[in-house]
Structure 1
Amino acid sequence: MSSPQKSTKKKNSKTSFKPKALLFIIAGLMLLATMILSASLWKDYPVEGKKQMLAINHGDTYSQFIDRLAKNKQVSFPIILKIYQRFMIHDSMKAGVYEVKEGMSVRQVLDMISNSENAQLNRILVIEGATFKQLKNALKNDELVTKELVHLSDAEILKELNIPFSHPEGLFAPNTYFFAKGETDRKILTDLYQHQMKALDKAWENRASDLPYKNKYEALIMASIIEKETNVDHELDKVSGVFVRRLKIGMRLQTDPTVIYGMGDQYTGNITRKDLKTPTPYNTYTNYGLPPTPIALPSDKAIEAAMHPDHSDYIYFVATGNGGHKFSTNLDDHNRAVQEYLAVIRSKK
């Protein structure tokens, strides 16, 4: 009779162990989850000092933002942050400049940048070599800018701003600017114009001697061409030198960006021989001298290059296909450089 009793006690001991083990596992998982959340969502956002400004550009995404934090080792478990954003925020990042205070968690920052009402400032990025049309569209599409002028024609905008030019291209400085949320497009354009004119006036006063420009506006036109021809800083004065020498000897500038600008909306990404032969006021293959207006918004560096061309004998240049350009003093060398460029392009295809 005693044997079954012992067996029952042993069996009860086994069954009572299972809930305890399960509770232990659950507790361990909860602890692990808490540690992961503490290292990701609940972790303090990295701030230098008591507070700092966080700039979010148009087109930025949460995924890119989180990946950047993870790459800089400022957060752990980025997948947790992405899951949180996907299921809890249900919105995109909003462009603007936000104030992040010391002690704010990563979760709080993620929540904050989903609402433009939280922005303290607006960041306007005007890219070097962009056109006035692109600048105008950027202001038009920026939800933090108060629109007063961008719905007007170019001529009407210039009149409203009391700008004494007939064409807006090149008159506004490319740069990154911070404005108060809700700032008017009138104030922004005025500031960009004044900045560009200040840079142009300063460069014109300190220009090199014997330049082939009738006035500083022609120098601005040249600066815009230089800006479009190269994005390599150490080439700016070389490109300037080529075009200045061509002007001096009566040679056509023959620069593709002017042709493209003259094509307007007809340009779809490719330029053909027919395009080079089709006359427009901006086609420097068919016209001598400078085009009638700038073709883009030139940077301070491009303006300086237009005022200080190099002193070499180069009158030709062509892209290398690997970044930068090859400069030549005669047509034979230039033609060889063109063939080298075409060979590089063919090899990449």
Structure 2
Amino acid sequence: MGIGSGAVSNSRPTIKDIARVTGVSVATVSRALRNLPYVASATRSRVLDAAAELQYEAHPQAARLASGRTWTIGVAAPQFGAWFPSRALGGINSVFAKAGYDLLISMMATPEDRRRFLREARSFCRRVDGLVLIDTFVSVEGESAEAFFDRPVVAVGERLEGASSITIDNRLAARRAVEHLIELGHESIGLVAGPHLPDLPTPVPEQRRLGYEDALRAAGLPVDPELVDDGGWTAAGGAAALSKLLERARPPTALFCMSDEMAFGVLRAATRRGQAVPGDLSVVGFDDHDLAGALGLTTMRQAVDEMGVRAAATVLGLIEGAPVTDITWDVPLLARETTAGIG
């Protein structure tokens, strides 16, 4: 087109500059740059050529306001420092960054934080285009997503009416873990359990306990309360639980731990007590924590990064009008070096 150096007065070109050099209105320039209809093809080409020659770049905030969106996604979770939420957030952020979305994070570290988040959910929604909820357990309130949120919602870790969900079958996965030990010939199988957390209304501990019991009963083995101990969801708790279980009159030859972190403590405590793993004691964890592979831990794999990616893609789809979906993610057994047959 050939635009003279004196045509633009500002160091940063604006749509007014483009309008002036093309001889069309500012409104027409705006529509052409946003690829909206009702702009003649020749006019659109002239505007785009001028924008390129002027090296025009749309101001990000102005573009967002013009689109009618916040270009922000809300993400809420109990504790982002914990393994599951932090890994899920990594997958989530990778998708939103590529799509040009910012994140608005709400961390619910205390029961009051969670209650406040739900009370103020409508206000939070005004700042975002959609939400991803990680282990928020809104469903325990007996309400649907619409009772709290007026934006598209994806719930990770729970089924929530009116929202898309990405969950695992904790009961089935725990049963598979214990069935693996039974198939190896173990009959005295202990459980290192995670307790119910007073500040997090999660059904996970109960579901994994039920899966443990399902496998034993299906194999005709007794469910012995003496083979169950609380590991507190920590490595230290897992170590303490093993010490107690090995003092039982009939100590277990195998353990199912409700989390890898508790299993790490079990492995450490077994070494200190001179227990060979898997020679004297087989151990199965749950999660596939970052350290599980390095330690050779047999575990049930939660593909948390991939679940985060799917959650992010799903909420973007909901924003564009896609239907609500429920996804149950498979949790495969990863048989490594901490399980073996008796003898």
TM over 0.5: no
Q: Which protein is richer in strand relative to its size? A: 2
So what's the TM-score if we normalise by structure 1?
A: 0.27
Q: Which protein is richer in helix relative to its size? A: 1
* Bigger relative contact order (CA 8 A; separation at least 6): 2
So what's the TM-score if we normalise by structure 2?
A: 0.27
